[in-house]
Amino acid sequence: MKKTDNQALVIFGASGDLTERKLIPSVFNLFCGGFLPENYAVVGVSRSVYTDEEYRQKVVFENEHLKNKKAATPEKLKAFAELVFYQSVNTKEISAYSALKERLDQLDKQKSCANNYIFYLATPPSLYQTIAKGLADSGLNNQENGWSRLIVEKPFGYDLDSAKKLNKDLLSNFVEEQIYRIDHYLGKETVQNMFVTRFANSIFEPLWNRNYIHRIEVTAAEHVGVEKRGGYYDSSGALRDMIQNHLLQLVALVAMEPPVKSDAESIRNEKLKVFQSLRPYTESDVKKNVIRGQYSNSTVRGESVDGYREEDDVNAESKTETYVAMKFFIDNWRWAGVPFYIRTGKRMPTRVTEVVIHFKPNHHHLFAHDSTLANQQNVLVIRIQPNEGILLKFDMKIPGAGFNTEQVNMDFKYDELTNVYVPDAYERLILDCMQGDATLYARGDSTEAAWEFIDPILKAWEADQNIPVYGYPAGTWGPENADNLIEGKNMNWRYPCSNLADDGIYCEL
């Protein structure tokens, strides 16, 4: 196990939703798992006024997301709460940072955290630059006497220009090695397993190219709507919220070349090359190859569900997309001519994220007696969530006379590995940052390269208001037009069910 230095985690945005729902529970899990160093502290920072004790009540003792954990015994909660502190700060005020520094110095003496700090930015993104500058001006970026790391939450920019500006501003106060841009998809165990599936098995890599792969699909469907985040979502939309980051990260892991080593820089260099090879869209490509949609009210499993425009904090005439499906190409030696299809949407029939590799059919159809079977392809499904696992579809002989074939499933599911604890994505990522490992964080150059691919789509939508936003009833698979993206006889998206081995539009959810 890697060594974890004594240190403190300073969370900006400490009274917010992310801190309560994800960050504190993840640190608690690390505490219960024995992953925290001997000397450790969490310091919450936001404008709201709490004493240390009041803040501990809020985020530890009364936190529903923490209380439901099996390990949350009263003794464990009490011991954990003693590591948690709070400092009220308005990060827009310059004087606030010297007060914060004073408090951190004092805690450092008390807790011996060795002057090592992670500053986690979980505030509205408009404050990221201000906080980084405030920290630097008060010397909290200094690494002479300990280290200083900055975790930056998504969204990383709103478009290419703002992402470039954010990178530039952060880099004028911290060096790249100090900056950890979080994408929680990379913390998912099954996403990391994609890397292992490809590069630890000799059977897949020889086939992993244009000679054997017909097309690749990535789906990230959510059953929920925008929940309480209508205000944020309405100025973001699915393209910025899911595609620019999470889905393109999945594409990079599927499409990258084998890295020379499994270290952060080698892996991140290869991922960058994928982003740089994405074929840029022209305005007419956008019209043809990018489908956007928005959910409308409907009845889902007997319950009436609001349409997007009826959600709290959403403009009643909003044209923000809650669904995007797109087709694109990666112009490099390995992927020339192989279409990639990716889609994401809220209020889909079920929650599922998966990568589907469709292999080319046989060149000579020895056993196929009709044209449907002749098109039959081997399919490898890498299920990210739920029912995590891997499924391979291949042909078998139907017992009896003749050579009739049928496609069967061979699958492996993670939950078959009993007694293996699968950490939450945030838990894994926070621990990596604590240990100085940036492999699963996005590097500045690749974040910009991903925006470079997305920006023309945003621009095309802005320039041509006539590009349709198709409505789709909540609880369905999105606009039917998305089916037309996949050209080819008898070919369509895989319509996954929550159970890995099942598929089809009408399967049980």
State residue 259 phi and psi, 5-degree precision: -75, 160
- Angle ∠(140,167,255) on CA atoms, nearest 5: 120
Q: What is the DSSP letter of 123?
A: S
**Total number of residues shown for the chain:** 509
Query: Contact with ligand NDP (CB under 6 A): which of 87, 115, 123, 197?
Result: 123
> If residue 292 lies in a helix (H) or strand (E), which one and from where to where?
strand 290-296
Pick from 7, 8, 10, 15 the residue near ligand NDP by CB under 6 A. 15
The answer to whether residue 346 forms part of the interface with ligand NDP (CB under 6 A) is no
Nearer to ligand NDP among residue 155 and residue 307 (C-beta): 155
CB 47 within 8 A of CB 88: yes
The total of other beta-carbon atoms located within 10 Å of residue 362's CB is 14
**Angle between helical axes of 444-463 and 248-255 (0-180°, round to 10):** 120
Q: Which residues contact 20 (CB under 8 A, 6 or more apart)?
A: 58, 59, 63, 65
Asked if 99 is part of the footprint of ligand NDP (rule: CB under 6 A), the reply reads: no
> How many residues line the site for ligand BG6 (CB under 6 A)?
4
Query: What six digits make up the tokens of 384?
Result: 């990210």
Q: Measure the CA–CA gap between 483 and 485, rounded to whole angstroms.
A: 5
Residue 103 binding ligand NDP, by CB under 6 A: no
CA distance 128 to 130: 6
Minimum distance of ligand NDP from residue 311's CB (angstroms) = 16
Beta strands in 348-499 (DSSP E): 352-359, 379-385, 389-397, 405-413, 469-473
Sign of the Cα torsion 121, 98, 52, 72 reads positive
468 binds, among ligand BG6, ligand NDP, none (CB under 5 to 8 A by kind): none
Query: Is position 364 annotated as part of the catalytic site?
Result: no
Interaction of residue 222 with ligand BG6, rule CB under 6 A: yes
Residue nearest to ligand BG6 (CB): 241
- Residue 222: which of ligand NDP, ligand BG6, none does it interact with, CB under 5 to 8 A by kind? ligand BG6
Which residues in 152-181 contact ligand BG6 (CB under 6 A)? Answer: 154
Span interacting with ligand NDP, options 87-95, 141-149, 204-212, 347-355, rule CB under 6 A:
87-95
* Residue 46 interacting with ligand NDP (CB under 6 A): yes
Least separation in angstroms between CB 243 and ligand NDP: 15
Out of 246, 358, 365, 369, pick the active-site residue. Answer: 246
- Kindly tell me which of 124 and 280 has the beta carbon lying closer to ligand NDP: 124
Tell me: does residue 427 bind ligand BG6 (CB under 6 A).
no
At its nearest, how many Å lie between ligand BG6 and the CB of residue 241?
A: 5
- State the CB neighbour count (10 A cutoff) for residue 178: 20
Q: Look at residue 125 and give the partner it binds from ligand BG6, ligand NDP, none, a contact being a CB closer than 5 to 8 Å depending on partner kind.
A: ligand NDP
Residue 108's binding partner among ligand NDP, ligand BG6, none (Cβ under 5 to 8 angstroms by kind) is none
Question: Given candidates 124, 468, 488, 504, which one binds ligand NDP under the rule CB under 6 A?
Answer: 124
Decide: is 241 part of the binding site for ligand BG6 (CB under 6 A): yes
| Alpha carbon distance 117, 41 (integer Å) | 10
Using CB under 6 A, pick the residue from 30, 42, 72, 122 that binds ligand NDP: 122
Among 16, 37, 146, 259, binds ligand NDP (CB under 6 A): 16
- Closest separation between CB of residue 229 and ligand BG6, Å? 7
Which own/partner pairs from 304-307 qualify as long-range (CB within 8 Å, at least 24 positions apart)? 305/225, 305/347, 305/474, 305/475, 306/225, 306/474, 307/474
Helix or strand run (H / E) with residue 223 = none
- At closest approach, how far in Å is the CB of 99 from ligand NDP? 12
Beta bridge partners of 353: 220, 385
Choose the binding region for ligand NDP from 120-128, 191-199, 291-299, 332-340 (rule: CB under 6 A). 120-128
DSSP β-ladder status, 213-221 and 340-345: parallel
- A 10 A CB-CB count for 303 gives 9
CA 162 and chain centroid, separation: 20
311 binds ligand BG6 (CB under 6 A): no
C-beta closer to ligand NDP: residue 90 or 106: 90
Catalytic residues: 246
Binding site for ligand BG6 (CB under 6 A): 154, 222, 241, 353
| List of residues contacting ligand NDP (CB under 6 A) | 13-18, 46-48, 89-92, 122-125, 127, 153-155
